[in-house]
Structure formats: structure tokens, C-alpha cells
């Protein structure tokens, strides 16, 4: 089966295209993890909602890995190019469609992993083997100056929250809501964003 791709996202097709993607990726492997990538993202969104995160951050948790489906490159191939990494690609694709409070944490969630490894030595020990492998491709642990610059960015705190859900959202057999549960939330966010609100 060929890799499903998201391209040409607009306000009119956004939620339907995302729902179609999730229908496929709930069966697709996730970089050697024990859960599928679709299940992983649904678990992340459920964790965010369970913590009472605002809608935009729940959307970020749900959509944080869609950048893997924006071109046909194999899963890790783009991770060595900062301008093509899945976090950056997703940020570009969603920038005009969802609020910055959703898009920025998505765009920053890879760097949040690199940051947390720099400032919390015990954090790296909790990462899965796949996360450690991709971090090496994505630039490795941040140095002191890079970590300070990251911490000063708007939404860096939300990106770290997203990162922790990303790490925790890998439970085999977790019972979480499907994509349909998030359609109204995504529609509300997209309507407000595209209306300039």
C-alpha cells in the first residue's frame, strides 16, 4: 500500500482530509513503536483532554505527526533536513488553517524533546528507542545556548506539554476516542482561524 498523503489542505477540506488520513493510519506502523501512528496521535489527544488542555493544544496533540504524510519520503528520510522535518512540514501545512496556539507546539515538539533532554537528564532515560534514534537525526540534545533560546520562544511550554503526551501516548490497546470525537473541536478552531478570529 502506498503512503497516504495530505496535500492542498484548505478550510473546506481540512477536517474531511484529516479524517480520511486517520482511517488509514490507525493501521500503519509507527517508526518501530508498539502502536500504530494513528493510535499514537489519538492517545496523545486523549491525554491532553484528560489534563484539561485548551482546545488548540488538544488539536496540536492530535495532529503533531501529520508531517510524515505531507510528502512521499520514507518515515525518517526528511528528519535530517531541518526545513523538511515532520514538525516543520506540519507547521507549514496548518499555519493558515489553525491558530498559532495549535500550530506552534506542533512545530516545536521535536525541539522540545531535544530541550527536555538538555534540561532534565532523567528525561532521556524515559524515551523509547525510536525516539532516541529520531532525536539523533533531528540534531541531538540541545546545547546550553540553544536550550535557553528554545525556552524563550512563545509556546515552548506548550510544546513541552505536547512532548510529554507524545512520549506517553504509546500504550498498546488503550481505549481512547476516535477521530470523530475531535471533528467539532477542529471545525471550531479552523472556522475562527480562517475568519480571522
Q: How confident is the model at residue 5 (pLDDT cuts 50, 70, 90)?
A: confident
Whether the CB-CB separation of 193 and 99 falls below 8 Å is answered with yes
Q: What is the reported pLDDT for 1? A: 42
Quickly tell me which residue has 488548540 as its cell: 56
Residue 29 has pLDDT above 90, yes or no: no
**Three-state SS at 3:** coil
pTM for the full model?
0.91
User: What percent of the chain shows pLDDT beyond 70?
Assistant: 91
Q: How many C-beta atoms lie closer than 10 Å to residue 170's C-beta?
A: 18
Q: What domains can you pick out in the chain, each with its CATH number? A: 14-189 (1.10.3210.10)
Instruction: Concatenate the DSSP letters of all residues of 156-170 into one string.
Output: HHHHHHHHHHHHH--
Amino acid at each position: 500500500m502506498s503512503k497516504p498523503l495530505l496535500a492542498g489542505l484548505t478550510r473546506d477540506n481540512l477536517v474531511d482530509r484529516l479524517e480520511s488520513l486517520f482511517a488509514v493510519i490507525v493501521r500503519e506502523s509507527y517508526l518501530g513503536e508498539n502502536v500504530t501512528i494513528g493510535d499514537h496521535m489519538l492517545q496523545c489527544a486523549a491525554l491532553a483532554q484528560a489534563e484539561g488542555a485548551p482546545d488548540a493544544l488538544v488539536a496540536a496533540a492530535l495532529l503533531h505527526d501529520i508531517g510524515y504524510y505531507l510528502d512521499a519520503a520514507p518515515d525518517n528520510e526528511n528528519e535530517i533536513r531541518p526545513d523538511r522535518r515532520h514538525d516543520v512540514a506540519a507547521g507549514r501545512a496548518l499555519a493558515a488553517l489553525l491558530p498559532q496556539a495549535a500550530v506552534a507546539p506542533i512545530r516545536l515538539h521535536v525541539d522540545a524533546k531535544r530541550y527536555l533532554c538538555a534540561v532534565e537528564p532523567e528525561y532521556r532515560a524515559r524515551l523509547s528507542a525510536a525516539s532516541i534514534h529520531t532525536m539523533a537525526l533531528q540534531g541531538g540534545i540541545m546545547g546550553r545556548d540553544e536550550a535557553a533560546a528554545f525556552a524563550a520562544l512563545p509556546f515552548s511550554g506548550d510544546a513541552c506539554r505536547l512532548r510529554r503526551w507524545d512520549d506517553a501516548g504509546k500504550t498498546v490497546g488503550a481505549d481512547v476516542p476516535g477521530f470523530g470525537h475531535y471533528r467539532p473541536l477542529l471545525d471550531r478552531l479552523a472556522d475562527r482561524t480562517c475568519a480571522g478570529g
